[in-house]
Amino acid sequence: MKQNIYDILKGKFLIKDDAIKNWRFILFASFLALIMIASSHWADEKVHKIAKLNDEIKELKSQFVDARTKLQELKLESYITEKVAEKGLAPSENPPKKIRVKSQQ
């Protein structure tokens, strides 16, 4: 038993006559490890990209809210009255009247 452990530590299993099957397994395990590492890196990239897009979404939402607030301020009657007063216009003092047309039958 002790001799087998020393043989493994010295690497004799890689130079024996039937070592080709050991080399094939080592290459296969290395290939799987490389695939696993690459897959992990791709997943990390996607996580970072998702986080970046979420930040961009938050920024665009805040810009939308700012623009909507500004639009509501521009639509206020007091703001419109103030802007047209600069051009010499004023709101009518007499309220509008409804015109009713009777049909001729």
Question: pLDDT: is 28 or 6 the higher one?
Answer: 28
Q: What is the pTM of this model?
A: 0.56
pLDDT in tens, 37-91: 999 999 999 999 999 999 999 999 999 999 999 999 999 988 988 888 888 888 8
> Does the pLDDT at position 30 exceed 80?
yes
- Residue 99 structure tokens: 């015109």
Residue 13 contacts residue 22 (beta carbons within 8 Å): yes
> DSSP letter string over 32-62?
HHHHHHHHHHHHHHHHHHHHHHHHHHHHHHH
Q: How far apart are CA 7 and CA 14, in angstroms?
A: 10
| pLDDT (0 to 100) of residue 39 | 98
- Residue 16 structure tokens: 């024996």
Residue 14 contacts residue 23 (beta carbons within 8 Å): yes
